[in-house]
Structures are given as structure tokens and as C-alpha cells.
Amino acid sequence: MIFKELAPIVIALTLLISIFVAKKIDKFVIYTIDGKFAIIGTALGLLISSLNLIYSNNYMITLGPLITITCMIYLSNRDKLLVENKENIFKLNEKSRNITRIVYWICITIALLVYQFAETYYRPPIFFVSISIAVASVGLEILSFDDQKYIEKYILLSKIFLVSLIVRFSAYFISPYPVGSDPWAHAEIIKDILAFGTSNLHQIHEYYSNYPIMHIFASISSILGNISTKESMAIVGIILVFSTLFVFLTVKSITNSINLALLSTLLINLSDFHIQWSVQVIAMTFGIALYTIIMYFLLINKKNHRAIYKVFLILFIALIIWTHTISSFILIISIISLYIGQSIYDLIYKAQYHKTKLTITSTICILSIAILIFHWMDPKYPFFDSVTNGLIDSLTNEASFLGRESMPNSEDSWNSILNILGFLIFVFLGTIGSLHGLAKKEKCNTKFSMLVMLTVLFFIFFAFPVMGIRNIVPYRWPAFIYITFVPFAAIGFSKIANMFTIKKYGFIIISSLLIIGSFFMITNSFANMDSPVYGNNQKMVWTDSEISLYEAINKSYEGYITSDLQTRERPFQTYLKRDLSNDYQITVEGSIDWNNMTGSIVTWRKCSLRRPVQVGGQGTPEIVLGENFEEDLNKNYNLINNNGNVKAYI
């Protein structure tokens, strides 16, 4: 394992850099509230770094040193970072602003032209580069935005939404079929609702008949707009994009800064996990949008019409519970954490009163839990029993500290670090912003409660999988975490921008952060499943020619059809409704089990030469089949169909 072997060197470098930075720290800073939290963060980072000696992956090998060094940098630059922002965070003259506007539109035009004339099912690297420069241009405009120009904030919001929609729809409409795995099942549910005229389809879709909100919405969109299922699901993705308006409103209410509100909106729209669920549209996509709206009602401070806001809050809580289980579970954890955060704030800051009063109360907490349990205990589908039994089983039989299995090809390669580089930049900026928000000078119970909530959510996201607890689907949590984390990333970004007295250096650093951060956010394996720029993730996009071949052999052959696991589950079982299908299996030694394919048609995708596919076996691993697999097929089987992208053998 590359990372585990490098762990001692990484730990040593982290300690050396920390000691070097520590020499510049004023001892007085350590005794401040934010200083104490920075010391805790430093210790936490060192602990995570040390754990790499036992178990290591791309997150642990990078996050530990990053958190430690970022906390030390904050301590050494605390006075500069706590200086109040200027009216324009990063001042540009009118000529420079006009240049950034021109660059934005040139880059958008290039991206659209490149996408239009590129080969089918592919987005060239220049597309992503153009988008990244466009993001940097609008980011610089935001940082130099003057609050007095009232109309300009709407223009900037429009630019953010435009670039966001281009990134998402270029990936979503790259194939006429669903992108990813789960969207195939959700598309079939919508088709059945349209066919039968009801969502009460327990015999066909037992689980989602109890969580039908997204599917009903998409079905209504399909009927009213006279559009296809694919297009109606795209509307759900659009809802997710425009739900980020509530991020803008929330940040504006908390910070009283339009610059930070706009910057937060830009960051959330170009974040990888947020993009992912606009491309892979599922019930959770609608859940994230509802979660964003609920956070707005929980966090804003409105003295007037508080009762009306609480009514809307309860309504949206009920909606999210009837939409998606993971979304509602994360919401309940968030609500409880926010409520506890208010009490901790009083203890730490000795607050006699709150500067802001959150909508959340003990009544809201209890009512939310009651509605959740009521729905989860529905006798038609008692989800509460299944999730409780699953958690008990996970805790008793599966859980073990550092018991998470590493996935070859994904977590222990240099490409895997590039895959999370955008996330690491977010963590760096967010850590600076979080420590800034903890300073006594900046104390605010809303921000503090948000940080308590984020600590809980991040702990579950990272610690539970490491301890072997996986039934809470941790890989889906970041999309929700980003909603309340981006305000702190925006604060961190603004503080770094505010530190530069020499305009030229500031321009270079800020532009570089925006370009690099956005580039690695929109090109990683979460946001970009079709056209990998670095590394090779599993191709979860199926072409017209591939589906045509599958349809042909499905109609003409009555026996078993063998393929990779995802092709078997989605095109064959979900879309073509074929029960007699099988996936490649691997033996205990890790080699392909050819005996499992005897007497069946074997399909092979050309992309498996370089990109991994999922196979059956312990842990359903992803492996690159390579040229040897194709050679064995050609040697031992007869080719019956070949359209270039996929072959069928018997």
C-alpha cells in the first residue's frame, strides 16, 4: 500500500512544518477561544496522521496533515485574519472588472462550442478548463462586488446558475439513458406511476411506494410539459440548482454580506457532490433541495412572522421524510445537533443572551423525531425495524476499528488524491473560516451551532466507515454537509483574499485557488463519470449502440446473459426486466471465475480495457479486466455480435 508506506514520511513532514510555523505564533493567541480550538484541531490532525501507520487511504493521508498545518497557519496569522473585510473584499478597477466579464462570456462560449462539436459521449479537457476559468472570472467579480450596485447581484447570480447548469446538463444529457446506477430504478418508478396513474405500487416498488414525493413531482412535470421521463427527471436537477438560492439567503442573513452570500452560492454550485446528484437524479436529489430550504428556516433570524416560518418548517420536514430516508435521517441529526449547539454556545461564551435566535426549539426536535418514527413504522413498509436491525447487525458483526476495506484502483493511488483535491481545498478554506467564526470578536450562536452540527456530520461521514459501520450510506452525506459548510469556506476565502496588500500577488493566488479548486471539483469521479481527465473510474454511462446490442440479444436469447455487475443490474434487470442475467464472478484468489460463465452469452464492454468494472464476489470489487480478458474471450468463445463499443460471445 503506497500511502501506508509513506505515512512515516508524511507525519515527519507535518511535524517539521508545524514546528516551523509555531515559531511565529504569539503565545497570547493560544489562550483565546479560537486559539484553543485551533490547538484541538492541530492535535486531531496529528492523531489522524498517526492512524495512517495502521490503516491508510487517500482521505486519511491528506486530511490529517492538512488540518494540522491549516490550524497552525491560522494561529500564526490570526491578527491578519481577524481584520474586518473591506467593502470590496478584493478591489478591482472598472477596466479589470470589464475584462473578467469578457473572459467569462468567452469561456462559456468556448465550453458550449467544444461540447457541441466533441465526439459523442465525451467532454474534452478544454471544456473543463474553460468552465474553471469562467468560475474564476465570476469569483473575482463577486470578491470585488460593490453592495451599492443593487442590480449587479442578480446578474452575478444568473452567471452562477448558468455555469452550474452547463456543467450539470452537459453530463446529464451526454446519454439518452440514465447516468449512474440508481437513476435507472427511479426512472422505471416514474414510468410505472405514469402508466398506472398511482404511486401506490407496493407489489412492484415496495420501498419507494412509501417515499414517492420526487417521483410524483417528476410524473406531474412529465404530464404537464409533455416531456420524456429523462427530461422530467432533469427538472428535479434544476430544482436542486435553484434551491441554492436559499444558501444565498441564509448566508446573507447570518453574515449580512452579499459578497459572502454570492461566494457561498458559487462554491455550492461548483461542488462535486452537489453536481453529482444533479447528474444522477434520484429521490435524494429532491431531498437535498428540501434540506437546503429547511436549513434556511432553521438558521435565519426573523422576528416578524416567526409562527408562519415554523409552519413552513414543519411542512418541509414532513415533505423530506416522505421523500427519502437518508435525507430525513441526516436532517434529524442536524436538527438535534443545532439545538445542542445553542446550549454549548452559552457555556463556552458565557452568553447571557443570544445575538440571534434560531427557529429551532425542543418542540421542533421532538415533533420532527415523532413524524419520522411515525412514517418509518408504517406497517406497509416498516423501515424503522429494518434500519434498526441493520444497525445492530453492523455494530455486532461488522464493526471494527479501522475495519474498512480498501478498494484497489480507487483509494491507494496518486490519482485518488487528485480525485479529492477540490474537497481538500474546501476543507482548508472551511477550517480557516470555522476558526474565524469561533473567535470571541466574531461570536454568533448561529455560526457556532452550525459548527457543532458540521462536527457531528463530518464525524459520522469519516469515522463510521473507518469503524466498519456502512449501512448509513456515508458516501451520500457530503452533499448535505456542503450546504452549511460552504459559508465557512467562503469566509475563509474572503479572509485570505483580504490579507493581500499587494494586488498582483492577491490576484494570482485567488485566481489560482478558484481555477484549481473548481477544475478538480468538476472533473473528479463523483461529478464526471463520462470523460475522466485523470485516473479511470467505472464508466456508468451506457451508449445507444450498447443498449441496442443488449436489446437484440435480450429478444433473441432465452438463456443466461453474463456481464459486469452494473450492466447486469441496470440495463438488463432494471431496464429490460431480464431475470436470467449474471455478472462476472471472481474467485477467492482474485481471478475471473470462467466456470460461472459456462452456457451463457457473455457481453464485454470496450471501456473495460482501461477502466474498472464492478464484478461479483466478496465486497463486489472494481477491477480492470484489461486485454487478457478480451483475449480469453476471443480464444474460448465465439463472437456473435460486435458494434465497436460492446461485444457478445457464446
Q: How confident is the model at residue 409 (pLDDT cuts 50, 70, 90)?
A: very low
Given 23, 42, 76, which residue is the final one in a domain? 76
Task: Indicate whether 316 and 427 sit together in one domain.
Answer: yes
What Å distances lie between residue 483 and 172, 345, 432, 457, CA to CA?
A: 22, 21, 17, 12
Q: How confident is the model at residue 436 (pLDDT cuts 50, 70, 90)?
A: very high
Task: Establish if 157 belongs to a structural domain.
Answer: yes
Q: Is the dihedral of CA 90, 431, 18, 461 positive or negative?
A: negative
- Model pLDDT for residues 19-76, shown as the tens digit of each residue: 999 988 988 899 999 999 999 999 999 999 999 998 888 999 999 999 999 999 999 9
Task: Establish if 180 belongs to a structural domain.
Answer: yes
- Model pLDDT for residues 87-140, shown as the tens digit of each residue: 556 777 888 899 999 999 999 999 999 999 999 999 999 999 999 999 999 999
User: Amino acid identity of 165?
Assistant: L
pLDDT in the model for residue 581: 94
Task: Indicate whether 485 and 561 sit together in one domain.
Answer: no
Task: Indicate whether 334 and 254 sit together in one domain.
Answer: yes
CA 587/CA 581 separation, integer angstroms: 19
Task: Establish if 424 belongs to a structural domain.
Answer: yes
pTM above 0.75, yes or no: yes
- Phi then psi for residue 492, to 5 deg, are -60, -40
Residue 230 has pLDDT above 80, yes or no: yes
213, 286 contact by CB (below 8 A): yes
DSSP category for residue 441: G
What Å distances lie between residue 405 and 47, 181, 461, CA to CA?
A: 20, 22, 16
Tell me the residue ranges of DSSP E strands in 541-623.
561-563, 581-583, 601-605, 613-614, 622-623
- For a pLDDT cut of 70, what percent of the chain falls above it? 92
Task: Indicate whether 277 and 377 sit together in one domain.
Answer: yes
The H or E element that residue 494 is part of is: helix 478-499
Task: Indicate whether 264 and 358 sit together in one domain.
Answer: yes
Residues 6+ apart with CB under 8 A from 459: none
Residue 643 has pLDDT above 80, yes or no: yes
Q: What's the domain range around 68?
A: 2-76
Find residue 582's DSSP bridge partners.
562
- Phi then psi for residue 92, to 5 deg, are -125, 140
Residues 6+ apart with CB under 8 A from 597: 562, 582, 584
Task: Indicate whether 584 and 511 sit together in one domain.
Answer: no
Task: Indicate whether 339 and 446 sit together in one domain.
Answer: yes
| Residue (of 521, 484, 574) closest to 192 by Cα position | 574
Task: Indicate whether 414 and 519 sit together in one domain.
Answer: yes
- Model pLDDT for residues 607-627, shown as the tens digit of each residue: 999 999 999 877 778 899 999
336, 396 contact by CB (below 8 A): no
What Å distances lie between residue 410 and 54, 406, 529, 563, 610, CA to CA?
A: 19, 8, 14, 21, 14
Q: Which residue has the cell 455480435?
A: 641
Of the listed ranges 207-211, 353-357, 382-386, 438-442, the one predicted with least confidence: 353-357
Task: Establish if 534 belongs to a structural domain.
Answer: no
Q: How confident is the model at residue 506 (pLDDT cuts 50, 70, 90)?
A: confident
Q: Which long-range contacts (CB under 8 A, 24 or more apart) does 92-101 make?
A: 92/140, 92/144, 96/144, 97/141, 97/144, 100/137, 100/138, 100/140, 100/141, 101/137, 101/141
CA 50/CA 10 separation, integer angstroms: 9
Task: Indicate whether 368 and 482 sit together in one domain.
Answer: yes
Residues 322-339, mean pLDDT to the nearest whole number:
95
Of the listed ranges 81-95, 513-527, 625-639, the one predicted with least confidence: 81-95
Find residue 641's DSSP bridge partners.
648
Task: Indicate whether 415 and 503 sit together in one domain.
Answer: yes
Question: Grid coordinates representing 270?
Answer: 461548483
| Helix boundaries (H) for 23-117 | 27-30, 33-51, 58-76, 78-81, 94-117
340, 162 contact by CB (below 8 A): no
Task: Establish if 539 belongs to a structural domain.
Answer: no
DSSP category for residue 564: -
Buried b (16+ CB within 10 A) or exposed e, 160-182: bbbbbbbbbbbbbebbebbbbbb
Given 21, 48, 76, which residue is the final one in a domain? 76
Task: Establish if 643 belongs to a structural domain.
Answer: yes
Q: Is 343 helix (H, G, I), strand (E, B) or coil?
A: helix
- Where on the phi/psi map is residue 144: left (φ > 0), alpha (ψ -120 to 50), or beta? alpha
CA 222/CA 393 separation, integer angstroms: 41
- Roughly what angle, to the nearest 10 degrees, separates helices 258-269 and 478-499? 130
| Residue (of 107, 552, 360, 551) closest to 115 by Cα position | 107
Q: Which residue has the cell 466507515?
A: 465
Task: Indicate whether 342 and 397 sit together in one domain.
Answer: yes
Buried b (16+ CB within 10 A) or exposed e, 371-405: bbeebbeeeebebbeeeeeeeeebeeeeeeeeebe
Task: Establish if 86 belongs to a structural domain.
Answer: no
Pick the residue with more confidence: 470 or 640? Answer: 640
Half-sphere exposure of 247 (CA within 13 A, CB side): 34
649, 601 contact by CB (below 8 A): yes
Task: Indicate whether 486 and 612 sit together in one domain.
Answer: no
Task: Establish if 11 belongs to a structural domain.
Answer: yes
Q: Is 209 helix (H, G, I), strand (E, B) or coil?
A: coil
263, 139 contact by CB (below 8 A): yes
Number of domains the chain contains: 3
Q: Which long-range contacts (CB under 8 A, 24 or more apart) does 393-397 make?
A: 393/471, 394/468, 394/469, 394/470, 394/471, 395/469
DSSP category for residue 440: G
pLDDT in the model for residue 105: 98
